Structure 1
Amino acid sequence: MNRMILAAGAVMALALWSIAALSVLPPAAWPTLPWRVDEMTVQQILLAYGLMPRGVLALLAGAALGLAGALMQAVLRNPLADPTTLGTASGAQLAIVAATIFAPDWLLRGNLPVALAGAGAATGLVMALGARRSFAPVTVTIAGMLVGLMASALATAMTLAQGHYLLSLVMWNGGALAQVDWSGSRHMALALVPALLAAAALARPLMVMSLGPEGAHGLGLRLAPLRFATLLLAVALSAMVSAEIGLVGFVGLAAPAIARSLGARTLLQRLMLAPVAGALVLSLADGLLLALAAAGGPSLPTGALTGLIGGPLLIWLLPRMKAQVPQQTEAGDRRGHRAAYPERLLAGLGAACLALAVLTLFGGRGPDGWGFMPPELRETFLPLRATAILAAASAGALLAGSGAILQRLTANPMAAPEVLGVTGGASLGYAVTVIAVDGAGPLMLALGTSAGGALALAGLAGFAMRADLSPARLLLAGLAIGALASAVLGAIMASDDRRAWVILGWLAGSASQVAPLGAAALAGLALALLAALVGAARWLEILPLGGEVGRALGLPLAQVRLGLILLAGLATGAATMLVGPVSFVGLMAPHLARAMGLARAVPFCAGSWLLGALLMLLAAFGARTASYPYDLPLGLFATLIGTPWLFILLMKRTSA
């Protein structure tokens, strides 16, 4: 039966590639060996040096990603691990984008060294957190996907800041398999063969490792070198694929799952069957897109289609994860100092917000340097600045309030609005509106953005009601929904449509286009969220103590969790709709509030709310003054603020 399934997949892939090949030339006109370019027609050159190496590279790259995913899942004992969910591919993306823009000389000898450095750095960050929390599957996966979000946000900001690189980098980010010779296939083959041999050699030690730390140590196995060697091999394979063809998502997640479903019981069987499954998945995806293009459809990069696998597959795998992961390994910091006078801290934060708002309103950088706005310009510019400041501060408060809810709900410091999937859904709704409606106005864009966020939120709520999952796993379900939305958005962005400029600019985040009515509405929603947080103080006080304590105190956990998820999702969607998907404010503000000693529910939520507004005011001030007279994206500065904080958070040793 398993052989029949594999054979059916191979036949389907071959059929799709045959359709693509026949669209170029009929078989009678195909070139014969040996190929001589000076004796071939243009169509024969396209077939021999374009389509054929593309087909071989799809098989080899898919096999490499399948093997990388199987190795990561084996060493971490985590069925959700792969180069995408652990941030490895995004780290390679960020490194190559940064080198392309700022240090192109580094790429003279190829993309691989740069991609390997970026992939290794991203994976190292995730492993630094995992090592301190016993490599708990959910926590490691959430950390990896947040690192991936960070890297993707920075890469997008860099791309937007250097517009003349936009089209080439966006197409590369989509995972384009187009080839002009056989060099990519040759490089991939030379890397894959020794990798398969190394994986076979690692199979037995990894089986011993699956016995657990005590059993492995009892048999004389050193875990640290084995873990390092296995991850190094997986990262190298992922970096190789990223260097050759760009980002191809979730093949490494799908291939081991397919191998297990086909009956691969031993680790060696999974390590050998996963590359076959990965090759078929990527070849099928690329063949489908080529057949679609041959029929007159749009030409899309293959990575955009494989990304569609990720969200549904993560959601399908999530309930099948072992539930015996110790709760303390998936929880965050529960201990910390408490401020003696939290009300004084809150008053100080409020005064700081007011002072920064006034400084941002009247001061800044002008034609004559730094100073305050001249009186003759105030009538014209003060209303515009006031609107942008109010929108930015309100959006920051909404995002921070959402992050506070999620961190209290899950007892997980990695919880953030990004993991709800609402941001991804809202971004997709905006992009679809821009592409589908010519000349869409502000009202139409707002409706499209709201609809996208609402659909993502509805999907998460429906999944939460159907599946009896822990709060941490619900966060991962939100990430899966966000990954699915991001995949569709990536397909739209990589379709060579000039309207990608508009979408990319909005994705970077901006408050300068918000109308006064919109800013006022956002401020009203932020105040309503603060009131709701104060009203839900009892729930937020009990939830971090665990489900058993909550039930003992008579708390209706299912209804409370669902209600808080909806509240956080609506707050995130409202902020995203007007100022764009600004990252990491919802992650940073609650951590800063906790570090200041605001431990009880009301001071913690109120402090997070104020800190979110303060961080966004800082980002707005930097976006307006750093490159005067032009405004830079608000999201760029929010990301630059958030990146160091996330790095510190990942490296911080926590106590359960």
Structure 2
Amino acid sequence: MRPVLRLWLPLAVVLSVALWLVLAARMLPVAQWPAPPFDPQVMSLDQILMAFGMMPRGVIALLAGAALGLSGAILQAVLRNPVADPTTLGISAGAQLALVLATILAPGLLAWGRWPVAMTGAGLAAALVLAIGARRGFAPVTMVIAGMLVGMTASAIATAVTLSQGQYLLSLVIWNGGSLVQQDWSGVQALALVLAAGGIGAALLARPLRVLSLGVEGAGGLGLNVAVVRVTAVALAAWIAASVSAELGLIAFVGLAAPALARTAGARGIEQFLALSPPIGALILSVCDGLVLAIAGQGGEMFPTGALTGLIGGPLLIWLLPRLRGSTPPGTEAAEGPAPRLVRPVRLLVTLGIGLVLAALILIWIGRVPGGWAVLDWDSLRAFLPMRAPRLIAAASAGAALALAGAILQRLTANPLASPEVLGVSGGASLGYAAVIFLAVAPGAALLAIGTMAGGAVALALVASFVSRRDMPAERILLAGIAVSALASAVLSAMMAVGDARSWAILNWLSGSSSAVTMPAAMALAALAATVLGFTLAARRWLGVLPLGADVAGGLGLPLRRARLILILLAGVATGAATVLVGPLSFVGLMAPHLARRVGLARPRDHVTGTALIGAALMLAADFGARMAGFPYELPLGLFASLIGAPWLIWLMMRSVR
């Protein structure tokens, strides 16, 4: 272990224990602490709260953190992917979807408890991600793309089902936060058994995983059944993560940060890696929960512990990025394979453009009324046009802007996983919006737009400046974006925990809606999207050369610093402007460039133009679904963009590489 971390880890242990002791002593003097076995009949109220609330909470924080750390370590070891964890692979979102569907649509399924339901959801999500990964040789970037798409689709469906029943998004905010509040010791006992069984399983898998680290062909040559090892390891990790989700809700980031810290701490070999990740995960979650309780004080807990993990883990992971040892070990996994390239892309682009216009006209003419579906007559159309036209223009413009930002970022970083959402741009834009809400008195639309665009540009500039000074592979750039996103999400959760009118304004905006947009605002967004498209087309040479690497680009005379700065500003402005309308939930910036590439639009000019058209079409369809699916309630616009585009992209990824 490195000398600095020999001191760091004991200090973290001391901090965790001291924090809990101080908080427990503040709640009840040490002399009055109850001793086991606990008998409520002879205990005071404060002693009952200590024995069945504070004490099991302190223990379950350690157990849940250790379980998530072990789950993340197993996934990273078996998939040879340093950014794999239950969150990025969609496992936690699958468990969430199953629990939400059971709670709302079939509560009788919960008669046997939440665990079987959560296991089913997590298992199905993991199986789908593995099926996609198997078609692409389990390439690391492909696995994370598949996991994010599966997780995004599951979260979108869970949100849609909840909101369609008239429940508000606040319920999902609480669930996603992950609360460690306890009322007895049953959760501790359950997670202790899970951690013990998971530890035994990890120990049995250690030797096969060490052989697998030699590569698929090398491991197969030594007689290892690679498929069985992968399925077994992923199933074990999914079971551990789903157990935590069933007991506590969603606690993100711990399964990603703990293995990263284990590598930095000097773990050599699979055994040390699997052994060191759980205690580090336990420390991370325990410290976070202690800080939540310390902030809450006597006023009660204001936000769940999971909302704080990003505040600590995000900056920590950014600091650790240049110190991470190794990456994906050498192997023979195949990448996604070359995308098709159309000989005459103009024909497809014209078709996309005509289809977009026809779709907009159709969506203006048809609608849903209390008596069912209706096609508007001419008089009704004239009456409804002032209301429908602005939101359709705004939705299409926002989709085009987000798609262009995603295309710029993917070519700028040569990373097919880059998008405004993944690289923290949407998170930064959200922080900019929230900062204006909290700092300005009655802010107007212009001020909110400026704040949102500035936040997106600053977040992207932070990630770009961090990675530009270091020679980092794509997965570490991705980790930086994930860290920024986690930090932004944690800050937003803390802001919304205040509970006043400003918090509700942020919560309402997070779901994304175009219902209140005016025609001047819609036309302004359309003009901005067109301007970004024009600048992007003008920079098509840069976008064609930058994916070849800095050395090649510089050798061809490309002004690297200026090109990167201009493209970063373009992506930040486009994301910020669109985020004001649709909120940060949409993944159009990830989906549209991939869809354009998979249908054969490869050259920069064709790719950028097709990406903008596909992004606009996704948002038009999402706007229609948001208005009609939950009628008379209106569902989130960004959510429906995920529901439409993600399954299509999953299907494309499932197709065999020829």
Q: What TM-score comes out, normalization by structure 2 length?
A: 0.90
Aligned-partner residue type, residue 635 of structure 1: G
Name the residue aligned to 1:336: 340
Aligned-partner residue type, residue 104 of structure 1: P
Name the residue aligned to 1:268: 271
How far has the Cα of 1:492 moved from its partner?
Answer: 3.7
Within the alignment, does 1:311 sit opposite 2:314 as a pair? yes
Aligned counterparts of 2:336 and 2:146: Cα–Cα separation in 1: 12
1:292-319 CA deviation, whole Å, 9 max, x = no partner? 2226586321111112244334434544
Aligned-partner SS, 1:419:
coil
CA change 1:345–1:453 in 2 (3 A) is: same
How far has the Cα of 1:557 moved from its partner?
Answer: 4.7
2:394 aligned to which of 391, 395, 420? 391
Most deviating of 195-204 and 369-378 = 369-378
1:360 aligned to which of 348, 359, 363? 363
Is the contact between residue 21 and residue 51 of structure 1 (CA under 8 Å) also seen in structure 2?
Answer: yes
Name the residue aligned to 2:180: 177
Most deviating of 55-64 and 480-489 = 480-489
Aligned-partner residue type, residue 644 of structure 2: I
Aligned-partner SS, 1:417:
coil
Within the alignment, does 1:563 sit opposite 2:558 as a pair? no
Name the residue aligned to 2:122: 119
Is the contact between residue 89 and residue 143 of structure 2 (CA under 8 Å) also seen in structure 1?
Answer: yes
Where do residues 10-29 of structure 1 align in structure 2 (5 Å cutoff)? 10-29=13-32
How far has the Cα of 1:54 moved from its partner?
Answer: 0.8
Gaps of 5+ in 1: none
Where do residues 240-279 of structure 1 align in structure 2 (5 Å cutoff)? 240-279=243-282
Where do residues 32-51 of structure 1 align in structure 2 (5 Å cutoff)? 32-51=35-54
Most deviating of 254-263 and 230-239 = 254-263
Is the contact between residue 160 and residue 505 of structure 1 (CA under 8 Å) also seen in structure 2?
Answer: no
Aligned-partner residue type, residue 106 of structure 2: A
Within the alignment, does 1:578 sit opposite 2:568 as a pair? no
**Percent identical:** 58
Most deviating of 229-238 and 158-167 = 158-167
Aligned-partner SS, 1:364:
strand
Is the contact between residue 433 and residue 440 of structure 1 (CA under 8 Å) also seen in structure 2?
Answer: yes
Aligned-partner SS, 2:112:
coil
Name the residue aligned to 2:445: 442
CA change 1:486–1:295 in 2 (3 A) is: same
Name the residue aligned to 2:190: 187
Aligned-partner residue type, residue 180 of structure 1: Q
Aligned-partner SS, 2:421:
helix
How far has the Cα of 1:391 moved from its partner?
Answer: 0.7
Name the residue aligned to 1:421: 424
Name the residue aligned to 1:519: 522
Aligned counterparts of 1:287 and 1:294: Cα–Cα separation in 2: 11
Is the contact between residue 339 and residue 598 of structure 1 (CA under 8 Å) also seen in structure 2?
Answer: no
Name the residue aligned to 2:605: 602
Is the contact between residue 156 and residue 508 of structure 1 (CA under 8 Å) also seen in structure 2?
Answer: no
Aligned-partner residue type, residue 64 of structure 2: A
How far has the Cα of 1:369 moved from its partner?
Answer: 4.3
CA change 1:475–1:573 in 2 (3 A) is: farther
Aligned-partner residue type, residue 255 of structure 1: A
How far has the Cα of 1:639 moved from its partner?
Answer: 2.1
CA change 1:412–1:649 in 2 (3 A) is: farther
How far has the Cα of 1:367 moved from its partner?
Answer: 5.2
Name the residue aligned to 2:201: 198
Is the contact between residue 217 and residue 332 of structure 2 (CA under 8 Å) also seen in structure 1?
Answer: no
How far has the Cα of 1:396 moved from its partner?
Answer: 1.4
Most deviating of 43-52 and 308-317 = 308-317
Name the residue aligned to 2:71: 68
How far has the Cα of 1:437 moved from its partner?
Answer: 5.5
Q: CA RMSD in A?
A: 3.1
Where do residues 117-196 of structure 1 align in structure 2 (5 Å cutoff)? 117-164=120-167, 166-196=169-199
Aligned counterparts of 2:197 and 2:332: Cα–Cα separation in 1: 39
CA change 1:374–1:438 in 2 (3 A) is: farther
Aligned-partner residue type, residue 233 of structure 2: T
1:252-297 CA deviation, whole Å, 9 max, x = no partner? 2232333344443343233223222222222121112212222658
Aligned counterparts of 1:412 and 1:267: Cα–Cα separation in 2: 28
Is the contact between residue 216 and residue 333 of structure 2 (CA under 8 Å) also seen in structure 1?
Answer: no
2:541 aligned to which of 538, 541, 565? 538
Most deviating of 525-534 and 587-596 = 587-596
Where do residues 221-232 of structure 1 align in structure 2 (5 Å cutoff)? 221-232=224-235
Is the contact between residue 511 and residue 585 of structure 2 (CA under 8 Å) also seen in structure 1?
Answer: yes
Is the contact between residue 97 and residue 169 of structure 1 (CA under 8 Å) also seen in structure 2?
Answer: no
CA change 1:375–1:364 in 2 (3 A) is: same
2:644 aligned to which of 638, 641, 644? 641
Aligned counterparts of 1:541 and 1:4: Cα–Cα separation in 2: 48
CA change 1:455–1:152 in 2 (3 A) is: farther
Aligned counterparts of 2:12 and 2:639: Cα–Cα separation in 1: 43
Aligned counterparts of 1:476 and 1:281: Cα–Cα separation in 2: 18
2:57 aligned to which of 54, 57, 63? 54
Aligned-partner SS, 1:96:
helix
CA change 1:24–1:436 in 2 (3 A) is: farther
2:492 aligned to which of 489, 494, 500? 489
1:457 aligned to which of 450, 457, 460? 460
CA change 1:580–1:4 in 2 (3 A) is: closer
Within the alignment, does 1:84 sit opposite 2:102 as a pair? no
Is the contact between residue 330 and residue 472 of structure 1 (CA under 8 Å) also seen in structure 2?
Answer: no
1:529-554 CA deviation, whole Å, 9 max, x = no partner? 22123212333344456666545544
CA change 1:273–1:397 in 2 (3 A) is: closer
Within the alignment, does 1:105 sit opposite 2:142 as a pair? no
1:209-244 CA deviation, whole Å, 9 max, x = no partner? 222233323322222212222222111111111111
Aligned counterparts of 1:413 and 1:222: Cα–Cα separation in 2: 30
Aligned counterparts of 2:334 and 2:483: Cα–Cα separation in 1: 18
Aligned-partner SS, 2:308:
helix
Aligned counterparts of 2:616 and 2:270: Cα–Cα separation in 1: 50
How far has the Cα of 1:430 moved from its partner?
Answer: 2.8
How far has the Cα of 1:92 moved from its partner?
Answer: 2.0
Aligned-partner residue type, residue 342 of structure 2: R
Aligned-partner SS, 1:108:
helix
Aligned-partner residue type, residue 208 of structure 2: P
How far has the Cα of 1:335 moved from its partner?
Answer: 3.9
Aligned-partner SS, 1:429:
helix
Aligned counterparts of 2:50 and 2:562: Cα–Cα separation in 1: 59
Most deviating of 358-367 and 42-51 = 358-367
Aligned counterparts of 2:101 and 2:495: Cα–Cα separation in 1: 23
CA change 1:194–1:633 in 2 (3 A) is: closer
Is the contact between residue 81 and residue 327 of structure 2 (CA under 8 Å) also seen in structure 1?
Answer: no
Most deviating of 501-510 and 41-50 = 501-510
Is the contact between residue 138 and residue 330 of structure 1 (CA under 8 Å) also seen in structure 2?
Answer: no
Aligned-partner SS, 1:555:
coil
Most deviating of 482-491 and 493-502 = 493-502
CA change 1:96–1:263 in 2 (3 A) is: same
Q: What TM-score comes out, normalization by structure 1 length?
A: 0.90
Number of residue-to-residue matches in the alignment:
654
Aligned-partner SS, 1:336:
coil
2:212 aligned to which of 209, 212, 218? 209
Is the contact between residue 58 and residue 286 of structure 1 (CA under 8 Å) also seen in structure 2?
Answer: yes
